[in-house]
A and B are shown apart, each in its own frame.
Chain A
Amino acid sequence: MEAIQTNAIDAFTTIFRRDLKLAMRRRSELVNPLAFFVIVVSLFPLGLSADSNMLLRVAPAVLWISALLATMLSLESIFRSDYEDGSLEQLVLSHHPLPVIVFGKIAAHWCTTGLLLTLISPALGISLAMPTENLGILLWTLLLGTPTLSLIGSIGVALTVGLRRGGILLALLILPLYIPILIFGASAVDMAMHKLEVAGQLYLLAALLALSLTLAPFAASAALRVTLE
C-alpha cells in the first residue's frame, strides 16, 4: 500500500509529467496551435494591407486575438483523449483531490501551448512592424494572460468533454469569459507603444491570474464530476 499513499504534490507532479510526456510523444499536436497562431496572424496583413503604419496600429489586437483563438482550439487536449480512453474516469475516482489532478493537467497544457505561443510571439510582433523595444511588454502580457486562458478554458472543456461535438459550443461558452483578459492584454501592449504607463494593466492581468489559479481548478473538477457521472 505504501507505494500508493502519495501526497497531493506527488500527484500533481506525476500528472504534470505524464501529460508533458504524452504531449511530447504527439509532436504534431504540439505544433498545430503554433502553426495556427502564425497563419492567423499572417492573414491580417493579407486582408488589411501591407502598410506598416496600419499593421502597427492593429498589431496588439491581432496578436492577442490570434493567441486567444489558438489557445481555445487547443483546449480540448486537456481532457479529450483521457476521456476517450477512459483514464479520465480513473483519475476522477482516485483518492487524490481532483482539483490537484486537474491543476496538473492545466499546467501541462499551458506549458505545451500558452508558453510556446508566448515564446514565438516576438517574431510575429516584428512581422507586424512592432518596434523591438515593445516586444518585452508583449511577452509579459502573454506570459501573464495565457495561463488564465488555459485555466478558464479548462472549465469549458470539462463541461463539454462528454459531448460528441463540443467544439463550437466550447467557443460560445468560453469566449465571453476571455473578454477581460483580451482587453487588459491588448491595451497594455497598445499603451506601451504609445509610451504610456502599463503597470496597471499588468497588475490586473496578474490579479485575474491569481483569481483563476485559485478558483478554476475547483470549478473544472466540479464540472468533470457533473459530466462524467
Chain B
Amino acid sequence: MMKFIHRFASPREFFRISGRLLPWLASLTLLLMLIGLYLGLLVAPPDYQQGESYRIMFIHVPSAWMSLFVYTVMAGAAAIGMIWRIKLAHVVAMNSAPIGASFTFLALVTGSLWGKPMWGAWWVWDARLTSELILLFLYLGVMALYAAFEDRRTAQRAAGLLAIVGVVNVPIIHYSVMWWNTLHQGPTVSKLDAPSIHLSMLVPLLVMTVAFTLFYVVVLLMRTRWEIIDQERRSNWVEEFLEQT
C-alpha cells in the first residue's frame, strides 16, 4: 500500500496518470454541471415562499460546502506533507488554497445576492455569513504567507503549518460566532433521516455538489501538473516531455 502511494506520489508518475485522467474528469464535470443546472433551473418547481430566487441555492450551497471541504483537504494534505515528507502533498495543499478561496468568495457573493430579496439586506452580521468571511480571511492568510517566502519549500511548509493551525481553529471560530449571533436558516439537507427539502430540489443540489467537487479536482490536477513541470524542469523526463509536445 505504502509502496503504491510512494509510487503515485512521485512527480513523474503523478504527471503521467493525472494526464490520462484529466480529459475524462473534465468531461464528466461539464456533463454533471449541465445536468445539475438543467434540473435546478428548469425542472425543479419554484419555492412556495421564496419563488424563483431560491434557485441561486444550486450554486450557493455547493460552493459553501466546497469552501469547508477544500480547507480540510488543504490542511490534511499539508499535514501529510509535513509528516511523511511527500513533496506532492505540499503542492496539492498550496494549490488548493486559491481554489478554496474562490469557492468561499463565490459562496459569499451568491449569498449576498440571495440575501437582498430574502432578508432585505446585502449583508447581515449573521453567524454563518461571518464565519464564512473569516474562512476567507484564513485562506488569504495562507496564500499571503505562501507568497511571502522566496524559497518554495519553506513557503510550502510555513503556509501548510498555518493551514493546520487554522483547521484547529475553524470549529472554535464557527461555534463562537454561532453563539454570538444567528439569523441564517437552519440546515435542511444534513438531517439525513428526513431532509426538509423536496426531492426535486435535492437531486439537482446533490448533482451540483458532485460537479463542484469534480471541478475542484480538475482544477487542482491542472494546477498541480503545471507546478510539477515548473519544479522539475531540470529533470530528464520533463525535458523529454516538453520535446514531445
A interface, CB within 8 angstroms of B:
155, 159-160, 162-163, 166, 169, 172-173, 175-177, 179-180, 183-184, 187, 204, 208, 215, 219, 222-223, 226-227, 229
Asked if residues A226 and B138 are in contact (CB atoms below 8 Å), the reply is no
Sample of 17 more A-B contacts, CB < 8 Å, known A155-B161, A179-B176, A219-B165 = A155-B165, A162-B149, A169-B144, A172-B141, A176-B169, A176-B173, A177-B166, A177-B173, A179-B173, A180-B176, A183-B177, A183-B179, A184-B176, A219-B164, A226-B154, A227-B158, A229-B154
On chain B, the number of residues with a Cβ less than 8 Å from chain A's Cβ atoms is 26
CB of B157 within 8 Å of the partner chain = yes
CB-based nearest A residue for B134:
A176
Interface residues of B in 174-190 (CB under 8 A from A): 176-177, 179-180
In the bound complex, residues from chain B placing their C-beta under 8 Å from that of A215 are 168
Query: Shortest Cβ distance from A154 into chain B, in angstroms?
Result: 11
Query: Shortest Cβ distance from A120 into chain B, in angstroms?
Result: 27
Query: Shortest Cβ distance from A17 into chain B, in angstroms?
Result: 29
Query: Shortest Cβ distance from B49 into chain A, in angstroms?
Result: 32
Query: Shortest Cβ distance from B131 into chain A, in angstroms?
Result: 9
Asked if residues A226 and B172 are in contact (CB atoms below 8 Å), the reply is no
- How distant is the Cα of A215 from the Cα of B176 in the complex, in angstroms? 19
Determine chain A's interface SS by DSSP, over half rule.
helix
- How distant is the Cα of A123 from the Cα of B210 in the complex, in angstroms? 57
In the bound complex, residues from chain B placing their C-beta under 8 Å from that of A226 are 154, 157-158, 161
Residue among B148, B165, B176 with max Cβ neighbours from chain A (10 Å): B165
In the bound complex, residues from chain B placing their C-beta under 8 Å from that of A184 are 176
Asked if residues A227 and B165 are in contact (CB atoms below 8 Å), the reply is no
Asked if residues B161 and A187 are in contact (CB atoms below 8 Å), the reply is no
Residue among A155, A160, A163, A176 with max Cβ neighbours from chain B (10 Å): A176
In the bound complex, residues from chain B placing their C-beta under 8 Å from that of A229 are 154
Asked if residues A163 and B161 are in contact (CB atoms below 8 Å), the reply is no
- How distant is the Cα of A229 from the Cα of B154 in the complex, in angstroms? 8
Q: Which of these, B141, B149, B172, contacts A163 with CB under 8 Å?
A: B149
- How distant is the Cα of A180 from the Cα of B168 in the complex, in angstroms? 12
- How distant is the Cα of A208 from the Cα of B150 in the complex, in angstroms? 34
- How distant is the Cα of A155 from the Cα of B140 in the complex, in angstroms? 17
- How distant is the Cα of A5 from the Cα of B223 in the complex, in angstroms? 50
CB of B137 within 8 Å of the partner chain = yes
- How distant is the Cα of A159 from the Cα of B179 in the complex, in angstroms? 31
- How distant is the Cα of A208 from the Cα of B168 in the complex, in angstroms? 12
Q: A159-B145, A177-B165, A215-B168 are in contact. Are A172 and B137 (CB under 8 A)?
A: yes
15 intermolecular pairs with C-beta atoms under 8 Å apart = A155-B165, A160-B148, A163-B148, A172-B144, A176-B134, A176-B169, A177-B166, A177-B173, A180-B172, A180-B177, A219-B161, A219-B164, A223-B161, A226-B154, A226-B157
Asked if residues A176 and B158 are in contact (CB atoms below 8 Å), the reply is no
In the bound complex, residues from chain B placing their C-beta under 8 Å from that of A172 are 137, 140-141, 144
Q: A208-B172, A226-B161 are in contact. Are A160 and B177 (CB under 8 A)?
A: no
CB-based nearest B residue for A180:
B176
Contact with A along B10-34 (1 / 0, CB 8 A): 0000000000000000000000000
- How distant is the Cα of A208 from the Cα of B177 in the complex, in angstroms? 15
